[in-house]
Structure 1
Amino acid sequence: MTVAPIVLPPLPRLPVAVPRSGVSSEARRALRQLLGDVDRALDTAFRDGADATALAQRRSESVQRIVVHVWTACLGDVNDAALFAVGGFGRGLLFPHSDVDLLALVGPSEPARLRALEQCFATLWDIGLKVGHAVRDLPQCRVLAKQDATVFTSLLDARRLVGDPAMEQGLKAIVDDPSIWPPAEYLAVRRAERDARHARYNDTAYNLEPNLKDGPGGLRTLDALRWLGRRLAHADDFDEMVAEGLLDPAEKDSLEQSEATLRRYRFALHLEAGRAEERLLFDYQRALAARLGFEDEHEKNLGVEQFMQGYYRAASQVERLGVQIAERFEEMLEPPSDPRAVGEDFVRYGKRLAVRDPDLFMRQPAALVEAFIARLGEPGITGFTAETMRRMHQASAVLDRTLGDDPEVLAAFLRLLRLGAPAVEALWRMNRHGLLAAILPAFGKVFGRMQYDLFHVYTVDEHTLRVLRNVARFADADAASDFPIACKIWPTLPKPELLLLAALFHDIAKGRGGDHSVLGEEDALAFGRRLGLPEEDTQLVAWLVRWHLLMSTTAQRQDITDPDVVNRFAETVGAPERLDYLYLLTIADIIGTSPKLWNGWKDRLLADLYTSTRYVLRSDDELPSDADARVRSCRDQAQALLEQEGFDADACQRLWRGFPESSFLRHRPEQIAWQTAAILRAKGETPLVEVHPKSVRGTTELFVYVPDRDGLFAAVTAMLDRLHFSVMEARILSSPTGMALDTFLLLESDTQQPATPERAEELKQRLHRALSQPGHVHQPSRRSMSRHLKHFQAAPKIAFSTVHGRTRLALVCSDRPGLLAAVAQGMMDAGVRVHDARIATFGERVEDFFLMTDRHDAPLSVELQDRLLHTLLERLGPAKEKRA
């Protein structure tokens, strides 16, 4: 891009001051004005499309003129002292709000000189530069450089601005000293620093609010490659690294293109934030996308998503190449080893795999996949040789458009998938080398694609690879304690490769504008046929892609204790084999979306749905749909449990006469027994509040037994909100004797884990006190919304329908603190009764479902629906409403 012409004002004429006099206040004002004029000119040029790197260089040049002027004014023309730029300033780059890092090298300390230095740095601060400075002599520099690799690294970038040239030679002698951080030690310390830095950012470039500078694949990674090149190969830049064989020209171009993107984003971010912000926070993402010209294509390809995809693609390229180049440096330092044959086409040199024939990949493209298969069979292999990686990249670049249609490549890819769980690591490595996108072009389209919400914390490609890794965990015996059912299913899968293919394709159509499940099904069908799979296998993979969300949504949004729900789900699944594959894919998908999404409640929900559906699919009969039979079965099992605890059978039966039939239809026998025991122990005292810290559903279970009254649901949810509990599910039942038997399944809001015994006891005591004051109005607590949630607030959508003689309300809205308590309060104000609630939160998006009646237990009239709608609108904001 051509640099827009920038006219900078001249420096003011200032007399050279003696060290004691410094820079006059008038001159300081002039310098402040000059610096402001420079920054405004650069801002205008950036808005007009000037290149960010050129502008950062121009700002560095302008600041250098000012710094040199102030140094000269304060110290004059001195010997035995010099001023050096370090950090980004040393590299000749200053972004709009970057720090100006300086190193003053001086000879013997003299009080007058030290005062002049203090005056110099104070003046620079006063005129508006954020100066970071150090004052040292050469012996101190040498000692610190030996002790601290960070200090040594800073000297690699040191650039003399003004002062005694002899100081520059002294600094160069330190940097060139082979005894200070020899190459092997320097590589080790830089890799350790990289790993520690990446660990602070979850070891991935795909964070929702990534750090442009220090995150994986950020600008610091590119700086580190140049530092390694200088120290290990005397190559000062990427061009010289190409000459040394550490980079090929295509890799250099990729790094430079990615660096240009990251610098452009960083320049824009500094301007947007008005400070040295390095994180692409939600606060700025939309504004930055608009500033840089990204526009919404459709609702599934927003401008902000395109903007972030540009970042993720650049950072991913930098991170991948950074790892590979670091491996090449390591290989360069390793002593040569004797070759050992690995099959016909490959040879092993120590920990690295190489091709026998340099032209193998061009002559036999399937070897691009076979190399990764060979690597799996060789314990201790850590990578490919530098030359083999170069040949691999060159071949994939030339053959890119043909690999996905080459029968031999596809046959090798299928052989890899048929290795099962071990194939996943090979797929990760193939992706790092760009081969996965070459074989699956559709996968390349979702490379770096983000979804602008808090639910999907990874880009589509990163999520897909994590889902594959989760699938591979089911083959590990050590994972049986976390996934007992999944680990039992995995060995029974007739063809695990079909699950791997479904995982690869399940989100491959994201961002195209239609239903990604339907579009992905078409892609899976086409690829399965190109792969040569039997038609029934291709159909199974395509079905899994089409319905990969079905099990999750059924479990979380519907009542899976209802046989009709299970039977409908079983009808869609159709066969036990499909159920096994779908169950594994569902778990892997949930955990791969965000580690925070998986908890004991979801584990139990999916396990229950799997077990009940398997019963339907493996029997000639459906689940018992006769309500009387189900009630009798539940009562009999609960009675047996209570008798084991010593409770009188007649007392239990008398109590159960006051239980609604739906208690035995909707609760497990263990829950009925627990509730019954609590009531019998209370001997008629109410309110009764009982808390089970960890119930059969992987949650904390709360049971409330109290004379029924309107507003009870609102009172309970208000207290739960105050105590920071999240409601996963609620059963609101009324007995024929006028008692409420309400059950809430809870998780801690912060950790999404069941409560500790101490927290359970606190909940019990606090709620008991609250319910002992029936006339008291319990208002939800008021808490501020998190910074993240503020950026994802949307108008709620409310829909009414009729289900089994009750009104069903579906609420889809943005999450916020105290949401459920506010909804419950609104329902009380509108005069409706809640009988059932299922609560699901997906990042910032809430999808809640309520079954309700009026206060005469009749479905809501149109008038009452309108009243409830407007009441909720007052609490939640504008809504979209529809009736079924």
Structure 2
Amino acid sequence: MTESVEAQDGSYAAARLRLLTQEAQSGPPRRAALSALTDQWLASLATEAAEATGTGGYALLAVGGYGRGELSPRSDLDLVLLHDPDRGGAKSVAALADRVWYPVWDLGVALDHSVRTPAEARKTAAEDLKVQLGLLDARHIAGDPALTSNLRSAVLADWRNQAPKRLPALHEMCQERAERQGELSYLLEPDLKEARGGLRDATALRAVAASWLADAPREGLEEARTRLLDARDALHLVTGRATDRLALQEQDQVADALGLLDADALLRQVYEAARRISYASDVTWREVGRVLRARDARPRRRGLLGRGRNLPEATPERVPLAEGVVELEGEAVLALSAKPERDPVLPLRAAAAAAQAGLPLSIHAVRRLAAATKPLPVPWPAEAREQLVTLLGAGESTVAVWEALEAEGLVTRLIPDWERVRCRPQRNAVHLFTVDRHLVETAVRAAGLTRRVGRPDLLLTAALLHDIGKGWPGDHSEAGEVIARDVATRIGFSAADVDTLTLLVRQHLLLIDTATRRDLDDPETVRAVAETVRDTSTLELLAALTEADALATGPAAWSTWRASLLADLVSRVAGALDTGALPDSGERAPTAEEERLAIEAARTGGPVLALHAETEPEGEGEARDEALGVELLLAAPDRPGLIAEAAGVLALHRLTVRAADLRSFDPIGEGHVALLSWRVSAEYGALPETSRLRTDLARAFDGTLDIESRLAEREAAYPRRRGVTPPPPRVTVAPGATSQTATVLEVRAHDAPGLLHRIGLALTSAAVTVRSARISTLGANAVDAFYVVGKDGNPLPEARALDVARQVEAALR
């Protein structure tokens, strides 16, 4: 390498570093400046290399993102060295390429390069769609501008000529990528480039526009693309790597680099941009499909003189859907006679008609409605409320229509409080969606449950509003109650219906929390729920809302086990409401099998157990548990620490405890036997052998199995996410009215092997007895409730209960 080239390289590196560290310059200006600086350096390298090798008839092109002048700090340099075979030999071109490529590599800059003749470039583009897309953005850097100009013209002409075949292939590529990478607008750790709604999709929209067959809705699109590029720039600078994955541990730093308040503000901005690109993609690909179908269906004259001539196209048929709304070419559009400026209900009527017909709502219709429609009067007229309910009750097709309304600001115009939950992230791995999409998804799920309730309109409205309080500080159920009252009144529900809706929103977690964390055999559990829900009509609404909410949250939030617990609770509460009487407070009598196991344990002095695998009911595909449930019955002579030892053995055998119940009685008058009824699931789907499980339990009870050491080995090997520190455990005492027979301790902690074992040890050390337990695991979080009593068999005094809670929390830390 010559001294001149070395000096250029050093100068470029220094100038590049200064540019990337200047806080005053960022965003599009910095990307453009970095591209221009790189152009200048590469042009100098290419010019000197051409002189040194005597190469003529060449052109150096930037393609892809670099071709668009959008270099991020760690972006690859995508380069094509084009050469005319009639004006330069292959050896001189190869030598020129080496003199350009090696300085780039020496500086540690990633390089994607190729050397081709114009004919080879066109041939490769015809065979490889990605190459063709890159060449659509080709830009001249050095050499003969005519070579670049001619290739650009040829590639663009090829693209337009081949568009009917290439665009469907491009659409399929986008869909496959979306299936692999997911939706950018909902992911907690999104890929800014590859996920649906990311930078790849924005590039695809540019390619569609270049085909002249269709164009994307441009309003807000460039701003959305710029936001994603800005976020990627900041990510590159924060990590020092060429990454597009916005990992959790880097989001606060990226937000700070962009001048945003926090990681949530960053994600919300990214989600908004992704939704704009996704919506534009949906509209654009629908238009591409319409154009291509019209081309394929276009009739042609077959006469001798008119061969090949196109016949006049027939006028598309308009099929009425609702007043002012018709179907036209596969979309719901406004009728020619529609007057949105005089019909404030038209946006909801059009949306409901589109969703009920399973059609997309035309972007032109939505924009006309957004521009011309006057606000609805408050309270809404009955038709508006009915149309909203109809829209929410349409099922899956509601989502696309709702997104179309939201893209043009109509949703926040109808429900102003929606703005606070729009694009709001939920930092909980259990949740698949942002808050607003979760609300819509809950309504979709509730639409399938409307036959179970007497007031479907209240169920669907409650589904849409149940988490509306997440946009405000404090308990979202309490905040949501206030907001729901205001929204329900605005929508025009009666005072009695408003009361019911606010109760549903305020108590939307009551049933699932009670079913999974409370002892259903305790009469106080049923009493508390019955007093809250007031009547069977509200109970059935709350039960349906609970199921819809869980199904919309994600697979970890709903299972056959949870469904059975909820059904059990609802049945007991319904019985209490119907008869006005609470169930007997006496303990449930043991079943025949439980009594048999207890008698055998009393006689042998050792553990006796039985495993019963549950089969998945047919037709329950949407509510499958992560692993099939297993009932494990264990009888053993009662002793302190029994639950901790048993839980430890289950953990060693990779059995996850979903629920537990512990009772003690004397079956044959020779000493008390503890009867543990567990509901467990196998971590990897395979149940352990009963004999091995029994052997390890016996060893644990006689002290020859070192559970702590074995669990420590497992915990050391337990996979943890790099850089992610789970929140500390929290142990609280539930209100005294929760149970009259025991003190309820609630434990919330990061789930890990042996967690229940450690909790059991802590409770044993605190000298309390576990009467029963409700174990619940949601993703990486365990939410457990333990019914404990003192040595006298009574609930703990308040001060003692608080002390025990502190001891358990300290042990878990």
* TM-score (norm. length: structure 2): 0.85
1:272 aligns with one of 225, 233, 238: 238
Cα 1:419–1:136 change in 2 (3 A) is: closer
589, 594, 602: which one aligns with 1:675: 594
Say if 2:753 is the partner of 1:778. Answer: no
Distance 1:837 1:44 in 2: 58
**Superposition CA RMSD, Å:** 3.3
In the TM superposition, residue 868 of structure 1 has moved relative to its aligned partner by 5.5
Verify the 8 A CA contact 2:385 2:492 in the aligned structure 1.
Answer: no
Equivalent of residue 722 in structure 1, options 652, 656, 661: 652
CA deviation profile, 1:432-477 (whole Å, cap 9, x unmatched): 2323332112123211012333343421111111111211233xxx
Offset at residue 277 of structure 1 (A):
1.8
Q: Which amino acid aligns with 2:776?
A: A
* One-letter amino acid of the counterpart of residue 421, structure 1: G
2:430/2:556 contact within 8 Å kept: no
The corresponding residue for 1:740 is: 674
2:693 is aligned to 764
Asked if residue 693 in structure 1 is aligned to residue 613 in structure 2, the reply is yes
Report deviation, 1:796: 3.0
User: 851, 855, 860: which is aligned to 2:787?
Assistant: 851
Amino acid in the other structure paired with 1:849: A
Question: Offset of 1:857 from its aligned partner?
Answer: 5.7
Residue 223 of structure 1: CA displacement?
Answer: 1.5
Structure 1 residue 820 and structure 2 residue 756: aligned? yes
Query: 1:567, 1:622 within 8 Å by CA — same for their partners in 2?
Result: no
Partners of 1:120 and 1:528 lie apart in 2 by 68
1:470 aligns with 2:390: no
Verify the 8 A CA contact 2:700 2:706 in the aligned structure 1.
no
**1:496 and 1:226 mapped to 2: Cα distance?**
44
User: Relative to structure 2, which stretch is displaced further, 420-429 or 714-723?
Assistant: 420-429
What is aligned with 2:275?
Answer: 316
User: Equivalent residue for 2:354?
Assistant: 375
How far apart, CA to CA, are the structure 1 residues paired with 2:690 and 2:263?
46
Q: Tell me the residue number matched to 2:370.
A: 396
Q: 1:602 offset after TM fit, Å?
A: 0.7
Structure 1: tracts of 5 or more residues without a match: 1-21, 236-240, 296-302, 475-489, 628-661, 878-884
Give CA-to-partner distance per residue, 1:289-315, whole Å, 9 cap, x none: 3333344xxxxxxx3322222221221
Say which of 724, 747, 761 aligns to 1:791: 724
C-alpha contact 1:208 1:458 (8 A) present in aligned 2:
no
Q: Deviations over 1:765-806 (max 9, x none)?
A: 664464475343311232356555963523333334776565
The yes-or-no answer on 1:597 pairing with 2:557 is: yes
CA distance in 2, matches of 1:579, 1:225: 49
Deviates more, 1:521-530 or 1:93-102: 521-530
SS of the aligned residue for 2:318 comes to strand
Paired letter, 2:287 = R
Q: Identity of counterpart residues, as a percentage?
A: 26
**Superposed counterparts of 1:448-597, under 5 Å:** 448-474=423-449, 490-597=450-557
Q: Counterparts of 1:42 and 1:762 in 2: how far apart (Å)?
A: 65
Change in Cα spacing, 1:116 to 1:626, as seen in structure 2 (3 Å) is: closer
Distance apart, 1:501 and its partner CA: 0.7
Alignment of 1:636-655 (within 5 A): none
The one of 106, 115, 137 aligned to 2:83? 106
**Residues 695 and 701, structure 1, Cα contact 8 Å, conserved in 2:** no
- CA displacement 1:541-583 (0-9 Å, x = unmatched): 2221121111111112211122221122112111111111111
Residues 124 and 457 from structure 1, CA distance in 2 versus in 1: closer, same or farther, beyond 3 angstroms?
A: same
Q: Post-superposition shift, 1:359?
A: 6.6
1:355 aligns with 2:337: no
Structure 1 residues 382, 178: CA separation in 2 closer, same or farther (over 3 Å shift)? farther
Distance 1:861 1:585, change over 3 A: closer
- Residue by residue over 1:348-383, the C-alpha shift from the partner in whole angstroms, topping out at 9 and shown as x without a partner, is 4332333333872234232222223333565xx743
Counterpart residue identity of residue 287, structure 1: Q
Deviates more, 1:263-272 or 1:840-849: 840-849
- Are the aligned partners of 1:675 and 1:703 in contact in 2 as well (CA < 8 Å)? yes
Equivalents in 2 of 1:97, 1:28: separation in Å?
22
Count of aligned pairs between the two proteins: 763
Q: For 1:313 and 1:420, how far apart are their aligned partners in 2?
A: 23
In structure 1, distance between residues paired with 2:389 and 2:803:
57
Verify the 8 A CA contact 1:702 1:746 in the aligned structure 2. yes
Paired residues of 2:351 and 2:391 also in contact (CA < 8 A)? no
Letter in 2 for 1:257: E
Please tell me whether residue 192 in structure 1 is matched to residue 172 in structure 2. yes
Q: What amino acid maps onto 1:571 in structure 2?
A: E
Residue 232 of structure 1: how far off its partner (Å): 2.5
1: CA distance between counterparts of 2:525 and 2:787?
15
Secondary structure at the counterpart of residue 467 of structure 2: coil
Distance across 2 between alignment mates of 1:383 and 1:747: 42
Structure 2 alignment gaps of length 5 or more? 295-312, 617-624
Farther off after superposition, 353-362 or 148-157:
353-362
SS at match of 1:703: strand
Matches within 5 A, 1:198-213: 198-203=178-183, 205-213=185-193
SS of equivalent residue, structure 1 residue 221: helix
Task: Report if the CA contact (8 A) 2:182-2:195 is conserved.
Answer: no
1:497-520 CA-to-partner distances (Å, cap 9, x unmatched) read 221111111111212114332333
Q: Give the secondary-structure state (helix, strand or coil) at the position aligned to 1:97.
A: coil
The Cα shift of 1:158 comes to 1.4
Answer yes or no: is the 8 Å Cα contact 1:853–1:859 preserved in 2: yes
Distance 1:213 1:680, change over 3 A: same
Q: Is the 8 A contact 2:606 2:636 kept in 1?
A: yes
Matched residue, 2:65:
88
* 2-structure distance, mates of 1:870, 1:33: 63
| 1:480 matched residue in structure 2 | none
- Preserved CA contact (<8 Å) 2:655 2:680: yes
Kept in 2, the 8 Å contact 1:453–1:792? The answer is no
Question: Structure 1 pair 760/521, CA: closer, same or farther in 2 (3 Å)?
Answer: farther
The range that moved more, 858-867 or 825-834, is 858-867
Distance 1:72 1:23 in 2: 13
Q: Is residue 327 of structure 1 aligned with residue 286 of structure 2?
A: yes
Q: Distance in 1 between the 2:720 and 2:212 partners?
A: 44
Q: Secondary structure at the match of 1:383?
A: coil
